[in-house]
Chain A
Amino acid sequence: MSAEKQSCSRCNYIFSQRKSNSVQYTLAWTIAAIIMFIPANIYPMMVFYTLGRPESSTILEGIASFIQQGLYPIAFIIFIASFVIPLGKIIGLLILLYNTKSHSRISKQKQTKMYYLIASLGPWSMLDVFVVSVMAAAVNFGFFTSIEAGSGITYFTLMVIFTIFAAESFDPRLLWDIERRNINER
């Protein structure tokens, strides 16, 4: 493959055989997301003021209060969207990154499916951010009752954005490259 830059005859975009520095970028974004995951879960997502008395709740506290109130479907949705999916994405991307370097027992088809699942689930993690912003705008009665966003929400949003960047910069074809290398060596 020549180093000279060629552009696509369809969209005029510059060609590259694989996304450049895919593994490094993906790893960097994933680490950034892991760092953001910690404050996102420690600091409160939402502060609920009743008669001036603040009552803050983090992601997991919010889910626990839903379970206490008996709102199981909502608790389940929030738990999946704001806890399971981000964590699953981070772990999944780390597994995929590892598999571009070494051979694994999981079939390449399954790994590729896993990547596209990770990539397509990305936006759903923003659910909690939207919920908080809608509720903060709707319940806004000053001193009497109001809902405000907590400081954790900024870290949470950044974490979600970082995981989307990580998934976008990963090149699933790298997973197949190792297979081809093995065939050539035989």
Chain B
Amino acid sequence: MNDTNSLDELIACLHCDTLATSPSLAAGETALCPCCGNKLFSRKKDSINRTMAISLAGLMLLFPAITLPIIGVGVAGKYNDASLVDCIMLMINDDFYIIAFSVFLFTIAIPSVKIFSAFYLSYKIKRKQISSSLLIFYRSYHLFDSWAMIHVFFLGIIVSIYKLISLDELTVGSGLISLLLLLLCSTLISITIDQKLIWDTLESEFAPKS
């Protein structure tokens, strides 16, 4: 256990805990676990720049996606449109606090934190200003992995449009387009972000004292 060099070369599989020697990869290659075939890690092309660009776009889209009307409905001369904020406010008015809270958390709060974390991390790493706050941001990025639900919300809107299509008048607003682009950005971030690269960079800065 004293030989730290050989320990650094080892990598444990997340699925089955098998230890494998970590290969050095060229950009665009992926390493697989020899025991269960799970992906160990992959080295991505131009990861930091791409992540920064996409997450900046995502941050700019957040506000329009939340506040602009998504769908509008007209019935017998009356017209009503709804944005993401309207959905949450209506649920609060109807005393469905758990629903309002979970919609807020899963479609606004957690996606915002994830996109901001991705932007902040890539910006700081690009500027080589590595501080210990990055650890907290990156850990939160992993923690919230299964709680960001913009994609589910978007499918929900599509289903709602299908349900309401029989009504007199149905319009889609610019909020829908913003939301679609936001969804695209958050998906692209998870494709471009290079987890091992970020951890390696952070670790080289905060190397263990031993």
Contact = CB atoms under 8 A, between A and B. Distances in A.
Interface string B5-37: 000000000011100000000000000000011
A145 B169 CA distance: 14
Interface stretch (A24-32, A94-102, A168-176): A168-176
Contacts of B135: 11-12
Interface string B154-185: 01110110111001000000000000000000
A126 interface: yes
A11 B153 contact: no
A133 B153 CA distance: 10
Nearest to B105: A161
A50 B162 CA distance: 19
A149 B97 CA distance: 12
Interface in B129-160: 135, 138-139, 146-149, 151-153, 155-157, 159-160
Q: Determine chain A's interface SS by DSSP, over half rule.
A: helix
B37 A109 contact: yes
Nearest to B165: A71
Most A Cβ at <10 Å: residue of B76, B88, B91, B94: B91
Contacts, number: 145
A86 interface: no
B159 A77 contact: yes
B75 A145 contact: yes
A181 interface: no
Given A130-B103, A153-B99, A161-B102, A172 B15 contact: yes
B99 A123 contact: no
Interface residues of A, number: 48
B73 A9 contact: no
Given A149-B99, A176-B16, A138 B81 contact: yes
B64 interface: no
Contacts of A137: 82, 86-87, 90
B78 interface: yes
A138 B164 contact: yes
Contacts of B152: 123-124, 126-127, 130
Contact of A157 (B37, B76, B98): B98
A9 B86 CA distance: 45
B61 interface: no
Interface string B27-63: 0000000001110000000000000000000000000
A119 interface: yes
B106 to A, nearest CB: 7
A139 B164 contact: yes
B74 to A, nearest CB: 10
Given A130-B153, A173-B17, A168 B99 contact: no
A108 B96 contact: no
Nearest to B170: A138
Contacts of B153: 130
Most B Cβ at <10 Å: residue of A13, A123, A138, A164: A138
Interface of B: 15-17, 36-38, 70-73, 75-76, 78, 80-82, 86-88, 90-91, 94, 96, 98-99, 102-103, 106-107, 135, 138-139, 146-149, 151-153, 155-157, 159-160, 162-164, 167, 199, 202-203, 206-208
